[in-house]
Chains A and B, each alone.
Chain A
Amino acid sequence: MAILKLDKVTKKFGGLVAVNNVSLELEQGQLAGLIGPNGAGKTTIFNVITGVYRPDSGKVYFMGIDITKKKPHEIAALGIARTFQNIKLFHRMSVLDNVRVACHFRLKASVFSAVLDLPKYAREEREMTKESLDLLEAVGLKQLANESAGSLPYGYQRKLEIARALATRPKILLLDEPAAGMNPEETAELMRFIKRIRDEFGLTILLIEHDMKVVMGICEKITVLDHGCVIAEGSPKEIQNNPEVIKAYLGSGVYARS
């Protein structure tokens, strides 16, 4: 059974149909890509999955549960984590605290127990800190744990965002243009990194990316969107040779000449 399933999802903004009758399935452990020209509705799909937007019609299922009407924090708690296209860190907080925030929803101790630092809270706090430091180590940011997140260089901010998402212990990770603004070397490293965390944490990953080298290099399945509709779906090979996709990307004129 698919771990994530979008069933005929439509989302409109006023007169604009951002996502039009999209159905999509992710298998457990898959590394899938979502591509398409600007404004094709990729990020809107992420926002529908994570509960930021409620679709006008259609349903979203996660491990068989209908999550269409759930709030973003509930969906995060169920096991879907994400990163943002334009990095959204907690800029004034430390690197470590950024990650620890993502552990907060699992905290069982009450506010009073936290304020009084009772043993129950103290133990949970220690566990959160340890888990966060382990994650920072996994992404190679442990030595920067006490720096302010806003002061990190761009590439590190991307990694911190992923570490923060991992701290929610997700089953599915949604990455919104993880390679944006990276040079080829960094991109190559990122590709290895994404594959590694997928295997290490047993994740299912869906990523939006403009860099075709990334998408074709690591994705096992690719879905192509154009004007809110799915126009193609398949392996990288199939997508590369799909005339519809080439048309959407290059315009019909170019296609006609080639």
Chain B
Amino acid sequence: MYKQPSFWLTLIALVVFFAFISYAQNNFDAYVIRIMNVAAIYVILGVSLNLINGFTGQFSLGHAGFMAIGAYASALLYMSPELKAMNFFIKPLIWPLNRIQIPFFPALLIGGLLAAGAGFLVGAPCMRVKGDYLAIVTYGFSEIIRVLFNNLQSVTNGPLGLKGLPTYTNLWWSWGWAVFTVFFIKRLIDSSYGRALKAIRDNEEAAEAMGVNLFYHKTLAFVVGAFFAGIAGGLLGSLVMTIDPNAFNIMLTFQIVLIVLLGGLGSITGTVISGVLIAVLMEWLRIVETPMKIFGITIPGISGMRMLIFSIILMISVLFFRHGILGDREFSWQGVISFFKRRQSNRGG
């Protein structure tokens, strides 16, 4: 692996990328940094959902639920006891959560692991329900999480949510995790395990007849996908500083589904591109919600317009661009090299 040029090219690209991140963190203004953070979180969410929906072919709508678990679990661990006391003024937080505080990174990890545990519970029914029904069961799961978090006042503070969370999330954390997610999932799907997942997607009956353990591999996809969704939830909580159960509703899952559909079910490269694209687009679309003047006529900002445009894009991509930006093609150094070689030979000949 160390002898291949692609390894070194990837390494160089990563060094350049993180040099850029380091520069951006110190020099860009807060607004741009925020969009970049959101973009990274969208990349994590999109790639992890694509593992379940695109590569394993199990259509899940549970991502918002996994995120909620990650966001709450990590926040309850990294918040200071004083901050918790301030938040939980109606009903105090249960012991021992009201006493402990741990650093951001382990808190994130625990959030991710708890989400992974939930992923296991959700993935298990995959053996019995398929297709639309699976989509409904996973959606049901994420709604159950939302209802529970709204009602478990002494653990989650109910609908009031958690406010004033410390902002640990920066470009290092967010893009660090995004790169790790891409690395982990890319390596997973290219491995023998990944081939088993894709075989399940292409033909479940044949995969099973060839010795692929359906239960193990389907839950594997859910556990890994949910873990990264939990991490993304934790990063998001610490970025937006406020979380409440209703923020993790089906709309959020739809946004992630759109990222995956737009990027291409089964393409990590496409998902990375569309994750960044959607983050920028959502920000850019804010202008339709603020009043503006065109040719002397003031058009009032219409709240909700952003999501309407967003859902129209979703419908258009579902109806007309079913394969997304890249279908199931991927970026590879070999592809780039052969592209340049072809251009050279064209020029020469």
Chain A residues engaging chain B, CB cutoff 8 angstroms: 50, 52, 71-73, 76-77, 81-82, 84, 88-93, 97-98, 100-107, 111, 114-117, 121-122, 124-125, 128, 164-165, 167-168
Contacts and interface: CB of A to CB of B under 8 A. Distances in A.
Nearest to A87: B206
Contacts of A116: 187
Contact of B199 (A77, A84, A90, A106): A90
B188 A111 contact: yes
A77 B187 CA distance: 25
28 contacts: A50-B209, A71-B208, A73-B211, A73-B212, A73-B214, A76-B209, A76-B210, A81-B209, A81-B210, A84-B205, A84-B206, A84-B209, A89-B203, A89-B206, A90-B202, A101-B195, A101-B196, A101-B212, A102-B210, A102-B211, A104-B193, A105-B213, A106-B211, A111-B188, A111-B220, A114-B192, A115-B184, A117-B191
At the interface, is chain B mostly helix, strand, loop or mixed? Answer: helix
Interface string B1-18: 100000000000000000
A90 B198 contact: yes
B213 A73 contact: yes
Nearest to A125: B192
B205 A107 contact: no
B136 interface: no
Interface residues of B, number: 27
A76 B199 contact: no
B334 to A, nearest CB: 12
A105 B202 contact: no
A72 B208 contact: yes
A121 B196 CA distance: 15
Interface string B280-307: 0000000000000000000000000000
B211 A105 contact: yes
A104 B198 contact: no
Given A73-B211, A81-B210, A164-B210, A115 B188 contact: yes
- Of listed B193, B206, B213, residue having the most chain A CB within 10 A: B206
Contacts of A91: 202-203
